[in-house]
Amino acid sequence: MVYRYQAGEGIYELFDRVMVLDQGRTVYFGPPDQARAYFEQLGYRSLPRQSTADYLTGCTDPNERQFAPGKSIDQVPSTPEALEAAFRSSDLARDISGQLAQYKSRMETEKTDQEAFRAAVAEDKKKGVSLKRPYTLGLKDQVIALTRRQFQRRLQDKFQIYTSYGIMTVCNSESFQNFPREISTLGTRFLHWRLLSQLAPYISRCFYSR
C-alpha cells in the first residue's frame, strides 16, 4: 500500500487499485482507469489539463470541486456519508465484494494445502529434531548428507581430481626439496600446502579449458 497526494499521471497509472478517502470514509476503491469516469458519472466536472489524482482529491474538497453543467450540490453526492453510500451501491463495489469473496475462498483452499504440507514435514522429521524447526534432519545427519554430496560432486569430475592432485604433488615435491628438515619449517610447509590445495583446482580447470 502506498499513499500519494496528487501523484503524476505516470505514477498513477502504475497502481493496480486506487482508494479515495473522504474524512476516513471510502468513497472509491477500484481500478485506476475507471476512477475518473466514476466521479464524472456522479456529476463532478473534470477540468482541462487536470491529472487524475488531482481530480480525485478535488472531488472530496468542498473548496476545489466543481459540478458538471446542469448539476448542483443537491443532485450530486457531496458529503462523505453520501459519497460512501453511492460507492457501496455501485457496480464497482459489488465487483470488489465478489473478488474479496473469491480471494477468501482461495485462501481457505491454500490454508488446507499448507496444513497438509506442514503435517507431511512433521511426519518426515527424524527422531530428535524439534517440531518448531523447519529442518527434517538433525545436525549430524545434515553434515553427513552435505559431506556425501560434496564427495559425489568431486567424483563427477575425475579429470580435475587427477590433475589437481598431480599438480600438488609436483609442486610440493619441488618446493619442499630444499627446505631444511627442522621443526621450525613446519608452519611454512603447512601454509605452502594449503595455498597449493586452493590453487590446484583452478590450475587444473585452466588445463581442461585449453
Which are the contacts of 97, defined by CB distance < 8 A and separation ≥ 6? none
User: Which ranges constitute the DSSP H helices of 89-157?
Assistant: 91-124, 139-155
Q: Which helix (H) or strand (E) holds 30?
A: strand 25-30
Q: Which of 38, 42, 40, 41 is nearest to 28 (CA)?
A: 38
Tens of pLDDT, residue by residue over 53-85, are 888 888 888 888 888 888 888 889 989 999 999
Cα separation of 101 and 107, whole Å? 10
Tens of pLDDT, residue by residue over 102-136, are 888 888 877 777 777 777 777 777 777 776 777 77
Per the listing, cell 468513497 goes with: 27
Cα separation of 115 and 135, whole Å? 16
Tens of pLDDT, residue by residue over 14-63, are 888 889 999 999 999 999 989 999 999 999 988 888 888 888 888 888 88
| Domain ranges for the chain | 9-89, 157-209
pLDDT > 70 fraction of the chain, expressed in percent and rounded: 72
Cα separation of 203 and 96, whole Å? 63
What confidence score (pLDDT) does residue 50 get?
A: 84
Q: Which helix (H) or strand (E) holds 207?
A: helix 186-209
- Assess whether pLDDT exceeds 90 at residue 173: no
Cα 38 to Cα 14, 15, 18, 33, 122: the distances in Å are 19, 17, 12, 10, 52
Which are the contacts of 73, defined by CB distance < 8 A and separation ≥ 6? 67
